[in-house]
Chain A
Amino acid sequence: MIESELSHNPKRDGTNPGDPLPRLDGHVSHGRFEQVLRAGHFAVTTEIAPPDSADPTEVLRRASLFDGYVDAINATDGSGAHCHMSSLAVCAILTRAGYSPILQISCRDRNRISIQGDTLGAAALGVCNVLCLSGDDVSAGDHPEAKPVFDLDSISLAKTIRTMRDDSQFLSGRKLDLAPRLFIGSSINPFVPPIKNRADQLAKKIESGAEYIQSQYCFDMPVLKDFMAKARDLGLTEKAYIIIGVGVLPSAKTARWMRENVPGVHIPDEIIRRQEQADKPKLEGRKICAEIMQQVKEIDGVAGVHIMAYRQEKWVGDVVKRSGVLAGRKPWAPEKSFADIQAIS
């Protein structure tokens, strides 16, 4: 445990779930998410949709749906180029309640000055994990007239945060008094062209500083297996924790719509047909997700799954249980559930 950098933090006495945890040897952050991965557990992460609201309890309500089923929660950053509460604010609210949120930073809306400021701010608020993304183009969202920034790209962004953390300085070389202790992640989409080069790109992402990777939706096992085989050959599974994205689809219609309209989503026809022909399509969608989770866990070098269940959040617990990927382990959850707190107040 590394005490020195905790010196100006309040002493952890167990009364406040948001107090920083001690940083273990060989760990880059104080976070529980890094601890779960480094301990060799199969991790489960999911995504929270930041509300269109200034109400912090709405954030906690949404997070409470995942209690006891996930190790970390990604707070999206204007996903699909739509406005919502900022990822940083969602992460700060979740951190205070003891959760392990993952701050998503997209390069679409901010330049390097703003991003480095937010990185320090996030770490100061207790955030321990960050995911570096290029971001969807503004044309995909509800403000297509906005100016796209894209000053950095995801690889330059990871490098920037790594510089701040490991060299304790800004890109300009100006020194930091206290470096942000962030566990750095990046994304990959093995399912769209150039498929044969996606493992090479993964190598670049890891070289730029990514310590864990979260992938786009996986509905195509053969493509994933190929990708992971290449990643293993390149020795990448030794260098970063690879977490595979899975999705809960409510209906074949939604699946088709997503395939057509959401950039980077690849869903094979068989999956859509299977859901279409099922007696209970909603249930079938969850079964498909749970099966994919089981198959993903069997692949050498996969460190976890990332469940994306937009508007299906209440089913995340169900697919985790069905899949059995936690093998009896129960991820951290607040002592008092959100429902209890509501009942008291």
Chain B
Amino acid sequence: MSYRIRLFAIRHARFFEGLYNAVNPAIVGTLKGVNKVFGRKLDRPITAMERGLKGVLFDCQMCGNCALSKTGMSCPMNCPKTIRNGPCGGVRADGTCEVKPEMKCVWVQAWDGASRMKGGDAIQDIEFAVDHRDQGKSTWLRIARGEIAEKVSDRI
């Protein structure tokens, strides 16, 4: 089910991009306030909320360095090789994944999603391998605390 929703989100990447761009600052803004008042006390429910919401929509794997807006709304952490600049050379002729033939290659999806997005060109920028210490952390909270830039393209 969630795989179907993921594909839907990529097909409608432009809509989700808009939604994401509108909602993200609101969430981050709210979290900045929450952070001031509660500190780290609410980290667990907030992280669970992000996991739940982005999990349903994008099969989010909570890498803590969300790059969705740069990858056609297709979460690269669903790639069995966790490639952040894909795809690999093994994609099957029908566009399915070399490792999991029952799944569309997340990077074929990413380039497709990016082509529908206003800011789709961001997929051309190199995204360095993920920082494994952030696995399981909330990207929203990290942005709210200024640990990483809100725009993926501003991160180094």
Chain A residues near B (Cβ < 8 Å): 107-108, 112, 134-137, 139-140, 148, 150-156, 159, 187-189, 192-194, 197, 200-201, 203-204, 207-208, 216, 263-264, 266
State in angstroms the CA–CA spacing of A112 and B91 once bound together: 25
Contact A208/B89 with A134-B81, A194-B111, A194-B112 known, Cβ cut-off 8 Å: no
Q: Which of B81, B94, B108, B126 contacts A208 (CB 8 A)?
A: B126
List chain B residues, Cβ under 8 A from A264.
88-91, 98
Chain B residues near A (Cβ < 8 Å): 80-95, 98-99, 105, 107-108, 111-112, 123-124, 126, 128-129, 132
CB nearest to A205 among chain B residues: B85
List chain A residues, Cβ under 8 A from B129.
112, 151-153, 156
Contact B132 A151 (CB under 8 A): yes
A-B contacts counted at CB < 8 A amount to 95
Q: Which of A107, A134, A200, A204 contacts B126 (CB 8 A)?
A: A204
List chain B residues, Cβ under 8 A from A154.
83, 85, 88
State in angstroms the CA–CA spacing of A112 and B131 once bound together: 11
Q: List 24 A-B contacts (CB under 8 A).
A: A136-B90, A137-B90, A137-B99, A148-B81, A153-B82, A153-B83, A155-B126, A156-B126, A159-B126, A187-B89, A188-B89, A192-B90, A192-B92, A192-B93, A193-B92, A193-B105, A194-B87, A200-B124, A201-B85, A203-B124, A207-B126, A263-B92, A264-B90, A264-B91
State in angstroms the CA–CA spacing of A140 and B92 once bound together: 14
List chain A residues, Cβ under 8 A from B111.
194, 197, 200
A113: min CB distance to chain B, Å: 12
Contact B89 A153 (CB under 8 A): no
Most buried by A among B89, B93, B123, B128: B89
Contact A137 B124 (CB under 8 A): no
State in angstroms the CA–CA spacing of A148 and B99 once bound together: 12
Contact A155/B85 with A204-B126, A208-B126 known, Cβ cut-off 8 Å: yes
Top-8 shortest CB links A-B: A263-B90, A189-B89, A155-B85, A156-B129, A263-B98, A197-B111, A153-B83, A264-B89
State in angstroms the CA–CA spacing of A336 and B129 once bound together: 45
State in angstroms the CA–CA spacing of A216 and B80 once bound together: 21
List chain A residues, Cβ under 8 A from B94.
193
B103: min CB distance to chain A, Å: 13
Contact A193 B95 (CB under 8 A): yes
